[in-house]
A and B are shown apart, each in its own frame.
Chain A
Amino acid sequence: MSGIRAYGAYIPATRLPLSLIQGRPPKEGGPEKAVAYDDEDAITMGVAAAIDCLSGIDRREIDGVMFASTSYELKEKQAAAVIAKALDLRRDVLTTDFSGSLRSGTSAIEAAANAVGAGSAKNVLVVASDCRMGAPRGVLESKLGDAAAAILLSSDDVIATIDGSYAISDEFQDMWRSDGETFTHAWEDRFIVTEGYTPNMIEAVNGLFNKTGRRAGDYSKAALVAPDARSMGGVVKKVGLEGRQVQDPLFGRLGHCGAAFAPLLIVAALEDARAGDRLLAASAGDGAHALSFEVTDAIAKLPPRRGVKGHLDRRRPLPSYDTYLKSRNLDPKEWATGADLGLSATIRFRERDADIGFVGAKCTSCGQIHIPKTRVCCRCHAKDGWEPARLSDKHGKVLSYTFDYFFPTAQPPTIMIMTDVEGCRVQVQLANAKPDEVKLDMPVEYVFRKIHSAGGKANYFWKASPLPAGA
């Protein structure tokens, strides 16, 4: 039976204390939202969640990647392909983007489960990630948050089976963003909740109950998306759930994270689940979609991962609203932006193993690793004897550093470090750290980030990040 084999999550460490929006100083424990920093977007967050999900799993087993998001920037260019490359997956992997709807996260889970159930694939990775923008100081800005979740659907080693689903489609204009627009728009909130969100969620959940014969009391947790706590309360009551069954929707900590919201709450519920638990999940957007899970004995054997909890605890609050605007690229720029084509597509093509996959070349004669690849080995001078060496899942060490105040960024300085990883030298930026946290010889991991944009296109590469305690 098909179901969930593993899960992972990513929530950016950067947080905007909501009081800063009004110009008030942040209070300890006050409401905040998670913010993708200026080197992050839906793709980089999705890669991070996928890496979390695949820890301990041989990546060669992955047959498909389904990416769900409403905030991927490019048209006529797939996001799932970038993610598959960054994960160094097989070339014969079926990559698919699910977009357009805030419900696309659960749509991808359903499609992946169906593919596995039909036997056309054994392991399909669903990555849901969103980085939606509310206009500065608008109502939505404080409600939306950025996050990603990854769920591996599989036929084997399943930690939770999917034992039912029910979806309805409803043509209903609540949220939208036109082509070329930066900010999300919404119709009047009472209309959205009264005529869209509430009846659609109730219809989907009740439809699932009728289809499966289960009732609200059968579930230990219900992971329900909602625009806010009050609207959720209306649905909870009407479908017969009690407050203790509701998975914490993280309002005031994370924010509504779009297509990733339902998958992320499923991950959060699984983190606390035990064998035999039943989980209910429901998402909304152009209708609603409800899913039912039953947790198996295998959940006890899933190796620990960072998940929702690990990422929520790692916080780096922004110092000011001005910094938030800069990190979102919403501040006016003195420097002219280059109206060029951006990076050479041919160079990117040739160097995609190193740049996107962070895969170097290991000399088959002496074992020295080079990144990017080279023809003649620097150590033994053997020519053209190489095997791939993935460095993205290895830990490095800081050999030297500098703090660059010249390069324009949201929060100077940019920390440049030289790292040693597997005996190979790589110079990268250090994310998630302030200058006084950098020490010689400290261990780092590598994270997929957006280095800059040129020619209107994001340029992805890897950065280092201090290794979290216990990792």
Chain B
Amino acid sequence: MSGTIKDKVAVVGVGACKFGENWTSSREDMIVDAAYEAYADAGIENPQEQIEAVFCGAVYPREGTSEIAEALKIFGKPISIVSDYCQTGTDAFRFGALAVASGMYDTVLVVGFDKPKDRGVSGPSVNFDRVRGLPSTPAGWFSLCAARYFETFGAGREDLAKIAVKNHHNGTLAPKSMLKREITVDDALNARIISWPFGLYDCAAQSDGAAACILTRAESAKNYRDDHVLVKAVTIAVSEHPQRDPNFDFLGWKPTQYAAKDAYRQAGISDPFKELDVIQLHDCFTLTEMLTYEDLGLIERGSAKDHIASGTFELDGELPINTDGGLKTFGHPTGATGVRMIYENTLQLQGRAEGRQVKNATMALSHNIGGPPTTCGIAILGMP
């Protein structure tokens, strides 16, 4: 029987650099901007003394942990780096939370970062080093559920377009988001096709960025902030490969279904739609957001299009989702995204989310799904 991390670890500081095509800043710049904002948020004045360990998530770098040590000038301390597709950030957060919960450290720093815009290509690299499966792009992976889901439940590209419109709107309200431009359903439907049914606006904005948070033991959280938030659950799950699983039904993704079950168990949540107040979920593509509504157990399988039509998940709806614009417009520096969601959910719970603030939010979920997809990370934060 697995245990739970509920109420053992607190988030006492968050920070993020501006997400975008950061041509003028290096990975070091972004790591330092995010970490030092988190330090200030937690009131940490002497990080080289106060931070006992660092847990990082990044997909693109090959330099290992020295890069982070050199950026933050934290030496002689444990620094770890994890890399697992798009749930990398949540996994870095999970390792940090587990390390604190174990009693090994009082205070740790979690940093997620990535800088894909130094590679010379727009969008992901097309993978040429494998024999099978070309073209191997994330759009190609995630779009494979569309044809079957659309035919089974009568949904279509128009439903996806409305998700893009919502997230573009929310992005205009987040100071550090990459894209700040409202779009219309027609804009989304008429954009060039990337991988059917995904047009340009159905795809997340790949960007540079870094986000950070400070974790400490729940009982010492008050030393940093009065309005700290608590970790209610954090988990990851690795599923069958959807391109090989002989039982895969193309109607939803198993990684999220597995991870949600464990996260709700840890947090003691039985009715997620009622008990959660705000959600940041992994909208790498609009279809991912649509199917994740159902994979998270928020609504009935096949009912997403009805909830999209009625605005359930809009900023003023019953359960606002991707309040900062999501991957779609805040940007998606792969390793940073999970930590950016912790940043946004912490601000929402503390009432610091300004124009995009959700009223009376006390329980917030963040979700990453990655790979073909095969891996999902979920974190739930709540007020004490």
The answer, yes or no, to whether A300 is at the interface (CB within 8 Å) is no
Q: For residue A348, which residue of chain B has the nearest CB?
A: B131
Interface residues on A, range: 35 or more
The answer, yes or no, to whether A461 is at the interface (CB within 8 Å) is yes
The answer, yes or no, to whether B297 is at the interface (CB within 8 Å) is no
The answer, yes or no, to whether A330 is at the interface (CB within 8 Å) is no
Pick the contact of A454: B128, B133, B151, B250 (CB < 8 A).
Answer: B128
Contact B246 A378 (CB under 8 A): yes
CB-defined interface of A364-399 with B at 8 Å, one 1/0 digit per residue? Answer: 000010101000001100000000000000000001
Interface residues of B in 131-145 (CB under 8 A from A): 131-135, 137, 139-140, 143-145
Contact A403 B196 (CB under 8 A): yes
Given A416-B140, A418-B250, A425-B245, A402 and B147 touching (CB < 8 A)? yes
Find chain B residues with CB under 8 A from A344 CB. 129
The answer, yes or no, to whether A191 is at the interface (CB within 8 Å) is no
Per the bound structure, the CA–CA distance linking A456 and B360 in Å amounts to: 61
Q: For residue A369, which residue of chain B has the nearest CB?
A: B246
Find chain B residues with CB under 8 A from A423 CB. 246
Binds B, one of A59-67, A276-284, A309-317, A405-413: A405-413
Per the bound structure, the CA–CA distance linking A423 and B248 in Å amounts to: 11
Per the bound structure, the CA–CA distance linking A404 and B193 in Å amounts to: 8
Contact B135 A404 (CB under 8 A): yes
Per the bound structure, the CA–CA distance linking A235 and B243 in Å amounts to: 57
Contact B134 A451 (CB under 8 A): yes
Given A370-B244, A400-B147, A405 and B193 touching (CB < 8 A)? yes
CB-defined interface of B188-217 with A at 8 Å, one 1/0 digit per residue? Answer: 000011111100000000000000000000
Interface residues of B in 76-97 (CB under 8 A from A): none
Interface residues of A in 347-367 (CB under 8 A from B): 347-348, 351, 354-355
Per the bound structure, the CA–CA distance linking A379 and B246 in Å amounts to: 9
Per the bound structure, the CA–CA distance linking A428 and B144 in Å amounts to: 12
Find chain B residues with CB under 8 A from A407 CB. 126, 134-135, 137, 140
Contact A406 B129 (CB under 8 A): no
Find chain B residues with CB under 8 A from A420 CB. 246
Find chain B residues with CB under 8 A from A405 CB. 192-196
Contact A400 B148 (CB under 8 A): yes
Given A413-B196, A427-B133, A406 and B139 touching (CB < 8 A)? yes
The answer, yes or no, to whether B240 is at the interface (CB within 8 Å) is yes
* Min CB gap B126→A, angstroms: 6
Contact A402 B146 (CB under 8 A): yes
Q: For residue B148, which residue of chain A has the nearest CB?
A: A400
Per the bound structure, the CA–CA distance linking A406 and B245 in Å amounts to: 26
The answer, yes or no, to whether B351 is at the interface (CB within 8 Å) is no
The answer, yes or no, to whether B371 is at the interface (CB within 8 Å) is no
Pick the contact of B139: A400, A404, A454, A461 (CB < 8 A).
Answer: A404
The answer, yes or no, to whether A232 is at the interface (CB within 8 Å) is no
Find chain B residues with CB under 8 A from A440 CB. 147-148, 151
The answer, yes or no, to whether A219 is at the interface (CB within 8 Å) is no
Per the bound structure, the CA–CA distance linking A399 and B146 in Å amounts to: 11
Interface residues of B in 111-163 (CB under 8 A from A): 123, 126, 128-135, 137, 139-140, 143-148, 151
Q: For residue A414, which residue of chain B has the nearest CB?
A: B135
Contact B131 A343 (CB under 8 A): yes
Contact B147 A351 (CB under 8 A): no
Per the bound structure, the CA–CA distance linking A440 and B195 in Å amounts to: 17
Contact A368 B131 (CB under 8 A): no
Find chain A residues with CB under 8 A from B145 CB. 400
Given A351-B131, A418-B250, A451-B131, A425 and B244 touching (CB < 8 A)? yes
Q: For residue A371, which residue of chain B has the nearest CB?
A: B244
Contact A401 B193 (CB under 8 A): no
* Min CB gap A459→B, angstroms: 6
Find chain B residues with CB under 8 A from A348 CB. 131
* Min CB gap A435→B, angstroms: 7
Contact A402 B134 (CB under 8 A): no
Find chain B residues with CB under 8 A from A461 CB. 131-132
Per the bound structure, the CA–CA distance linking A428 and B143 in Å amounts to: 14
Per the bound structure, the CA–CA distance linking A407 and B130 in Å amounts to: 14
Contact A378 B147 (CB under 8 A): no
Contact A400 B250 (CB under 8 A): yes
Q: For residue A427, which residue of chain B has the nearest CB?
A: B243
Contact A400 B144 (CB under 8 A): yes
Pick the contact of B131: A355, A399, A435 (CB < 8 A).
Answer: A355
Find chain A residues with CB under 8 A from B139 CB. 402, 404, 406
The answer, yes or no, to whether A30 is at the interface (CB within 8 Å) is no
Contact A406 B137 (CB under 8 A): yes
Contact B128 A435 (CB under 8 A): no
Interface residues of A in 23-82 (CB under 8 A from B): none
Find chain A residues with CB under 8 A from B130 CB. 343
Interface residues of B in 4-43 (CB under 8 A from A): none
Contact A452 B134 (CB under 8 A): yes
CB-defined interface of A70-113 with B at 8 Å, one 1/0 digit per residue? Answer: 00000000000000000000000000000000000000000000
Contact A404 B137 (CB under 8 A): yes
| Listed residue (B123, B128, B131, B147) with the most chain A CB atoms within 10 angstroms of its CB | B131
Find chain B residues with CB under 8 A from A427 CB. 132-133, 144, 243
Find chain B residues with CB under 8 A from A406 CB. 123, 126, 135, 137, 139-140, 194-195
Per the bound structure, the CA–CA distance linking A423 and B246 in Å amounts to: 6
Contact A429 B143 (CB under 8 A): no
The answer, yes or no, to whether A424 is at the interface (CB within 8 Å) is yes
The answer, yes or no, to whether A180 is at the interface (CB within 8 Å) is no
The answer, yes or no, to whether A338 is at the interface (CB within 8 Å) is yes
Contact A378 B245 (CB under 8 A): yes
CB-defined interface of B49-68 with A at 8 Å, one 1/0 digit per residue? Answer: 00000000000000000000
CB-defined interface of A328-348 with B at 8 Å, one 1/0 digit per residue? Answer: 000000000010000110011
Per the bound structure, the CA–CA distance linking A418 and B148 in Å amounts to: 11
Q: For residue B372, which residue of chain A has the nearest CB?
A: A427
Find chain A residues with CB under 8 A from B148 CB. 399-400, 440
Per the bound structure, the CA–CA distance linking A101 and B139 in Å amounts to: 46
Find chain B residues with CB under 8 A from A424 CB. 246
CB-defined A-B contacts under 8 Å, sample of 10: A348-B131, A378-B240, A378-B245, A408-B126, A416-B135, A416-B195, A425-B244, A435-B196, A440-B147, A454-B129
Shortest 3 CB-CB contacts between residues of A and residues of B: A407-B135, A402-B143, A403-B196
Given A355-B132, A402-B146, A461-B131, 20 extra CB contacts under 8 A: A344-B129, A347-B131, A351-B131, A372-B132, A400-B146, A401-B147, A402-B197, A403-B193, A403-B195, A406-B139, A407-B135, A408-B126, A414-B134, A418-B243, A425-B245, A425-B246, A440-B148, A451-B131, A452-B128, A452-B134
